[in-house]
Chain A
């Protein structure tokens, strides 16, 4: 599904990624670990076409996503759900509206929105928080809304960037359980973290980045930095 072919990203004063190559198959759950500044977020931005590589190619289903026209980029992004450490919810919209907003951008009908949004909030355990604004919710609840928003349009791939960075250990574990369930129903997940416990608990493939280089690729890896 995702293929990085000798990708490098070089800024004027630093090297974010250096000659990275790896493949992610459909349905995989891949953790990317590394210290801060290792290049994890840059790597995810390449998949979302928010950043372009200095050299190398990034393929999504055999299409080099950095060679398509600007008008075609939204088409790829619709197949990708994303969850971030800072949640990126719209503060002036309720939980319901934050998710409905995404569906409207997809051109879904009002009937579909009315039917699907409560259902997906129920999936993440927030069916009683439809009318709550983000400032009224805890960190864990906001992240659940962000997850609900990321999966509402049934993406092929879920990009998750440090989802538990602002959460306590118990809430972090609950969030990870949600991702496991999402992966079990077939969604490919690429998750970046520097949380050792999470990585070890997952028992899935682990890519290790250090100073922009891919130093380890373990099929059933553990956190080893």
Chain B
């Protein structure tokens, strides 16, 4: 009977399904977007490192000894060494199309010092690692001054984290507002269905039909709207992730939102399906309580 009622209401049912589809699409987008941004953040964190450039006269043995000590620190994930020659080669490769720079390089000795790139377990350890290097580098510790410069971009990670958190909160706030609107849309649809069936409801109550018998078809109508909306929103998310991939391919490189969509398809489906049913049930329960005196 709920299915019949859903079909009978025609355009009104379509309107409520549309409202719920938009809501569920936003929920799906926030979920996908949030997870995607978290992945991006992890990628960024992994690419964050402390770059230690050494003086040109620093001995390789001393640098490698420092590298070994750094590797032993629990805060350090990985240390990679780039010799003076490696740095020169990398520079030549970066500017290979600039004849002036390449020519001027040939006229002087290798101006580059060796480099250590240090990946921390978490960016929050950058300061500690830097202090360790500085401490080893100071003449007071008995070590020769090897280090030319230490650089890292700690602030980028925390700013990015804040941005992601704020975006997620905003996304969920929008989803909540849309959820309330879609509940209202379904509420109106069910209320109209109750009004249309008021004679039948009156006779049902008169003859002593149970509350669940009277209420049931309207609850089912609400659920059907939610289920249909969840399938529609899931289907709409696919072209959306394809579009995002094409637009952001150059920005995010290897991170593939489409792969994430298919990889977590089951989870996304469950979230949207359950959300759709909950929204539909809430709206129809409210309508039956208000208008069917049930």
- Spell out A's residues near B (CB within 8 Å): 48, 70-71, 73-80, 82, 88, 90-91, 101-102, 105-107, 149, 153
Contact = CB atoms under 8 A, between A and B. Distances in A.
Nearest to B1: A104
B214 to A, nearest CB: 8
B203 A74 contact: no
A74 B199 contact: no
A214 B108 CA distance: 123
Interface stretch (B187-195, B205-213, B237-245): B205-213
The 9 A-B pairs at the shortest CB distance, nearest first, are namely A77-B208, A78-B208, A105-B209, A74-B208, A102-B207, A105-B204, A74-B210, A105-B207, A90-B199
Nearest to B206: A82
> Which residue among B200, B206, B207, B210 has the maximum number of chain A CB atoms within 10 Å of its CB?
B207
Contact of A77 (B199, B200, B202, B207): B207
Q: How large is the interface on B (under 10, 10 to 19, 20 to 34, 35 or more residues)?
A: 10 to 19
A75 B211 contact: no
A23 B111 CA distance: 115
B201 to A, nearest CB: 11
A107 B216 CA distance: 13
Nearest to A82: B206
B208 A105 contact: yes
Nearest to B213: A105
A107 B210 CA distance: 10
A191 to B, nearest CB: 17
A82 B204 CA distance: 12
Contacts of B206: 48, 77, 82, 88
Interface in B22-56: none
Given A76-B208, A90-B200, A106-B207, 18 more contacts: A70-B211, A71-B211, A74-B208, A74-B211, A77-B205, A77-B206, A77-B208, A78-B207, A78-B208, A79-B208, A82-B207, A91-B199, A101-B204, A105-B209, A105-B213, A106-B208, A149-B207, A153-B207
Contacts of A106: 207-209
Contact of A74 (B200, B202, B209): B209
Contacts of B211: 70-71, 74
A94 to B, nearest CB: 14
Contact of B203 (A71, A75, A80, A90): A90
Contact of B202 (A79, A88, A91, A153): A88
A35 to B, nearest CB: 26
